[in-house]
């Protein structure tokens, strides 16, 4: 697959087909191709000749796509920056990228680079000068750089090459049967999950229907907007689906064309999958897994009744073709079937490393020797723990850095969370370790969201009830000392559970 060729062909054959829609406007494939060609010509005339990556700032608007494509067509990588990112982080990234200018599709104040703002971009798009198409991008060219949030310290820029992206799309389009349709875009473009809907959408000649951040804060408004979208393919974090499930009208009557739910980015719980299956009996629910460093997702599994009935949490799926997983034990040897360890990913979507950050790159992009010293395989160490069954089915058990020690016991926070969710009154949960000044865990706190139907309220009897239920399922040293009731989970701008915010609530 060659994504640029695909977009061009759609623009030539069915140019009037809608490519993208948001509350900020719409754009067809023909317009996208024309406008990106003009901006690409301008970039070739005005930008540096050494083709530094171009930061592109904004939110969910057609202009963002025009900028991305213009960078690609002029042989430059782009780096998406979203309006929800804090200004210091934006400045830091602009500084790291080191370009003298930034394309800003929304007004932006920064002293780190010359801002080519929305009015200027629109003026450029009026000029009828098209880029002279040169040789197409090479597989090793960097297509985009997404800065990962990085729980601590400086954000890291993940370089994804054109080869990585095309390899990913070869597979991701099969998740939707290689058909065109309408994709939901929930994630901001600065979050790798957006690559799933944006590029799988563009690769299949589909329309992308974007829900902006403001809409996501207002469920009734969000619902009425989404209902008008004729969505076929839902791409979001599971937490975002939970937000939508809080509205009773989120069901197949209101979304008759919805065929598939594609999830990535965090654990898909049986609770969420079960609630969706009830509301959308004919839609398929697919769990996928992967980090930004491996483009987007690299595994998938369709959630079946059998998997729902299994005692264990839902699996993350089997590796896509072109990707292989290894499970590395703490002592550096490789785990056997069912044995836990760190998930190590190899294959055609693994990034060549972080942008201008050789130290961090060396820490996690490594060469492994699973078949002996004579064969070295380039791999990414995910920092996630899990295990693999004999049939290749993978199970995620949590972040290695969410493994904590409490009074000498090693505890996987995800393990407590998945057991809490077995309690019927609880719809959402996150377990947070409370640490002292030396970083030693003092106790565990479980934040729980009771379901509306349960009528469960915050009182001693209910906290006791939860503890009693948990003790039936996990050892008592794992039962959180503190149970905190909250009405809804705080989410990050990317739509994942905001653990930092929960820590602050303790």
Binding site for ligand AMP (CB under 6 A): 148, 192, 264-268, 287-289, 291-292, 316, 382, 384, 396, 399
Nearest residue to ligand AMP by CB is 292
Which residue, among 308, 265, 266, 313, has the nearest Cα to 285 in the 3D structure?
A: 308
Are 387 and 335 in contact by the 8 Å Cβ rule? The answer is: yes
Q: Which residue has the tokens 């794992």?
A: 478
| CA–CA distance, 18 with 2 (Å, rounded to integer) | 20
Nearest distance from C-beta of residue 288 to ligand AMP, angstroms: 6
Cβ-Cβ contacts under 8 Å for 193 (sequence gap 6 or more): 186, 187, 235, 236, 237, 264, 265, 296, 494, 495
| CA–CA distance, 426 with 489 (Å, rounded to integer) | 12
Closest CB to ligand AMP among residues 44, 295: 295
Closest CB to ligand AMP among residues 99, 299: 299
Per DSSP, the three-state class of 14 is coil
Nearest distance from C-beta of residue 385 to ligand AMP, angstroms: 9
Cβ-Cβ contacts under 8 Å for 394 (sequence gap 6 or more): 289, 299, 315, 316, 317, 318, 319, 325, 343, 386, 387, 388
**Residue 198 is encoded by which pair of tokens?**
């944006």
Closest CB to ligand AMP among residues 2, 148: 148
Closest CB to ligand AMP among residues 31, 293: 293
**Residue 30 is encoded by which pair of tokens?**
């023909």
Nearest distance from C-beta of residue 64 to ligand AMP, angstroms: 19
Cβ-Cβ contacts under 8 Å for 450 (sequence gap 6 or more): 425, 426, 427, 456, 457, 485
Closest CB to ligand AMP among residues 324, 425: 324
Q: What angle do CA 20, 26, 62 make, to 5 degrees?
A: 65
Closest CB to ligand AMP among residues 4, 198: 198
Nearest distance from C-beta of residue 227 to ligand AMP, angstroms: 27
Nearest distance from C-beta of residue 59 to ligand AMP, angstroms: 18
Nearest distance from C-beta of residue 408 to ligand AMP, angstroms: 26
Nearest distance from C-beta of residue 494 to ligand AMP, angstroms: 7
Are 228 and 254 in contact by the 8 Å Cβ rule? The answer is: no
Nearest distance from C-beta of residue 477 to ligand AMP, angstroms: 25
| CA–CA distance, 305 with 310 (Å, rounded to integer) | 9
Which residue, among 350, 395, 387, 366, has the nearest Cα to 164 in the 3D structure?
A: 350
Closest CB to ligand AMP among residues 189, 289: 289
Closest CB to ligand AMP among residues 148, 403: 148
């Amino acid at each position: 697959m060659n994504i640029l060729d695909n977009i061009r062909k759609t623009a030539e054959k069915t140019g009037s087909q809608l490519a993208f829609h948001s509350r900020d406007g719409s754009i067809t494939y023909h317009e996208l191709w024309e406008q990106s060609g003009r901006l690409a010509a301008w970039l070739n005339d005005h930008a540096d000749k050494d083709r530094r990556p171009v930061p592109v700032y904004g939110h969910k608007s057609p202009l963002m796509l025009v900028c991305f494509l213009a960078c690609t067509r002029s042989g430059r990588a782009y780096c998406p920056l979203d309006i929800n990112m804090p200004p210091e982080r934006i400045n830091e990234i602009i500084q790291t990228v080191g370009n003298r200018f930034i394309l800003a599709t929304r007004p932006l104040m920064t002293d780190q680079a010359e801002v080519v703002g929305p009015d200027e971009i629109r003026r450029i798009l009026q000029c009828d000068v098209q880029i002279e198409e040169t040789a197409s991008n090479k597989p090793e060219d960097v297509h985009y750089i997404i800065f990962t949030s990085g729980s601590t310290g400086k954000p890291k820029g993940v370089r994804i090459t054109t080869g990585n992206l095309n390899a990913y799309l070869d597979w991701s389009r099969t998740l939707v049967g290689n058909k065109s349709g309408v994709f939901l875009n929930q994630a901001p473009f600065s979050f790798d999950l957006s690559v799933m809907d944006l590029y799988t959408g563009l690769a299949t000649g589909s329309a992308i229907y974007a829900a902006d951040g403001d809409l996501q804060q207002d469920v009734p408004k969000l619902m009425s907007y989404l209902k008008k979208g004729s969505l076929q393919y839902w791409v979001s974090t599971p937490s975002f689906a939970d937000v939508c499930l809080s509205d009773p009208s989120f069901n197949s009557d209101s979304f008759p064309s919805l065929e598939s739910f594609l999830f990535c980015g965090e654990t898909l719980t049986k609770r969420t999958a079960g609630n969706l299956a009830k509301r959308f009996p004919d839609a398929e629910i697919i769990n996928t897994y992967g980090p930004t460093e491996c483009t987007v997702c690299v595994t998938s599994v369709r959630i079946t009744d059998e998997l729902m009935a299994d005692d264990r949490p839902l699996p993350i799926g089997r590796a896509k073709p072109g990707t292989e997983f290894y499970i590395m034990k703490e002592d550096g040897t490789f785990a056997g079937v069912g044995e836990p360890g760190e998930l190590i990913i190899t294959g055609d979507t693994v990034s060549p490393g972080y942008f201008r950050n050789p130290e961090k790159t060396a820490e996690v992009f490594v060469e492994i020797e699973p078949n002996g010293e004579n064969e070295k395989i380039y791999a990414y160490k995910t920092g996630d723990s899990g295990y693999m069954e004999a049939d290749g089915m993978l199970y995620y058990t949590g972040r290695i850095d969410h493994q904590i020690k409490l009074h000498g016991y090693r505890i996987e926070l995800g393990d407590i969370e998945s057991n809490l969710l077995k309690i019927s009154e609880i719809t959402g949960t996150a377990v947070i370790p409370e640490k002292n000044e030396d970083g030693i865990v003092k106790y565990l706190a479980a934040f729980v969201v009771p379901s509306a139907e349960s009528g469960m309220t915050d009182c001693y009897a209910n906290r006791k009830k939860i503890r009693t239920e948990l003790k039936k399922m996990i050892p008592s040293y794992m039962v959180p000392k503190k149970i905190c009731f909250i009405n809804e989970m705080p989410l990050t701008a990317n739509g994942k559970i905001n653990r930092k915010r929960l820590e602050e609530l303790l």
